[in-house]
Amino acid sequence: MTTHVQIGAESPRKDYIASGAQTVFGFDFAVFEPEDVEVRVDGAVAAAGFTTNVNADGRGNVVFASAPASDSRVTLLRRLTIRRQSDFQEGGELRAKTLNDELDFQTASIQQVGYEIGRALRQDDSDPAGIDMRLPPKATRAGQALGFDANGKPVVLATPETALELPLALADGGTGGVDATAARANLGLANAALLDAVQAFTRAQRYAPATLTDAATIAWDLDTAPMARVTLAGNRTMAAPTHQRDGGMYALTAIQDGTGGRSLAWNAAYEFGADGVPSLPSGVGKVAIFVFLSDGTALRCVGRWSN
């Protein structure tokens, strides 16, 4: 490059979340050659499929032949091969550009090393000096669990790696079971209800009835209130229910208030078949119960009762 590249106080990294359409990704850290830019997609180094363009000031962009997938992470890193750039001769000519290029390269190299150290495990500045943070030798730590002693020094723990193999005992925070059935038994859940097995219940199972809010148009959330009741204080309309589930059974109890004579209209999502839309009993405190079966889009009345 013919123009002097100036290295400022800059991070040697640029991150993007891909849109699925974007192909050009800029970098605002300076490099010396296109090869100085390392390209990663979702953490993996990309070796091909892109072109790196470097401007006269050392900044530039990476252009992908095909846009990275939507929501993938694109990371651009300055990755120099740290080396001496020039060799000054005794009594030779000392050109400003040569000296500047060498100092810029050294500054960029120091930034790179600082970036890598910043991502490494290290002691907090509040720790006292003198703690030996060297790992135990390979022969000592191989196949072992690593921990820290009372002084914060890395040590090999007494528990070997093999002791952590499954099944992990209950006392160690595991289930002690080699499969789901054994794990449930060990945890006292052998009789817990399952979603994918035929079971006989020895106690009654039911929905807790929920009271809907009375309004001119009554909302019914089938997920939170599969069995619902509402007291009518005026002529009302049932809105289209939300969260229908194919095969779901739902029940609604409509109750006349202390005045009585209230009517109830129904959204088209409710279907009553050949019997037609029912009328409510009009007396004070009278009750009508409707049972529905859903196909995911419509609630079909399969039973009704009134007094």
Asked if residue 170 and residue 98 are part of one domain, the reply reads no
The reply to whether 252 falls in a domain is yes
* Whole-number Å distance between alpha carbons of 263 and 128: 79
- Predicted pLDDT of residue 189: 82
Asked if residue 96 and residue 63 are part of one domain, the reply reads yes
* Whole-number Å distance between alpha carbons of 49 and 225: 54
Strand duo 217-218 + 236-238: pairing: parallel
* Whole-number Å distance between alpha carbons of 293 and 238: 16
Asked if residue 138 and residue 112 are part of one domain, the reply reads no
- Predicted pLDDT of residue 23: 97
- Predicted pLDDT of residue 165: 60
Asked if residue 94 and residue 40 are part of one domain, the reply reads yes
Domain region containing 147: 134-190
* Whole-number Å distance between alpha carbons of 290 and 264: 12
Give Cα 73 distance to the centre of its chain.
14
Asked if residue 111 and residue 23 are part of one domain, the reply reads yes
Asked if residue 149 and residue 104 are part of one domain, the reply reads no
The reply to whether 237 falls in a domain is yes
Asked if residue 109 and residue 44 are part of one domain, the reply reads yes
In one-letter notation, the amino acid at residue 106 is Q
CATH of the domain at 216: 2.60.120
The reply to whether 124 falls in a domain is no
The reply to whether 203 falls in a domain is no
- Predicted pLDDT of residue 164: 54
The reply to whether 123 falls in a domain is no
Q: For residue 242, which of 217, 204, 269, 214 has the smallest C-alpha distance?
A: 269
- Predicted pLDDT of residue 3: 61
Domain boundary among the residues 117, 143, 160 is at: 117
- With a CB cutoff of 8 Å and minimum separation 6, the contacts of 189 are none
Asked if residue 276 and residue 236 are part of one domain, the reply reads yes
Q: What is the pTM of this model?
A: 0.45
Asked if residue 97 and residue 39 are part of one domain, the reply reads yes
* Whole-number Å distance between alpha carbons of 190 and 256: 46
Q: For residue 231, which of 249, 193, 258, 251 has the smallest C-alpha distance?
A: 258
The reply to whether 129 falls in a domain is no
Residues of the chain falling short of pLDDT 70: 1-4, 158-166
- The helices-and-strands tally (H runs, E runs) of the chain is 3, 18
Report the SS3 class of residue 192: coil
- Specify the DSSP class assigned to residue 274: G
The reply to whether 2 falls in a domain is no
- Specify the DSSP class assigned to residue 221: B
Contact 167, 176 (CB under 8 A): yes
Per the structure, the count of domains in the chain is 3
The reply to whether 239 falls in a domain is yes
CB atoms within 10 A of CB 182: 14
Domain boundary among the residues 126, 159, 190 is at: 190
In one-letter notation, the amino acid at residue 14 is K
Chain length of the chain? 307
- Predicted pLDDT of residue 2: 45
* Whole-number Å distance between alpha carbons of 174 and 283: 61
Report the SS3 class of residue 111: helix
Give residue for tokens 């703690």.
131
* Whole-number Å distance between alpha carbons of 34 and 218: 65
Q: Supply 39's token pair.
A: 């390209």
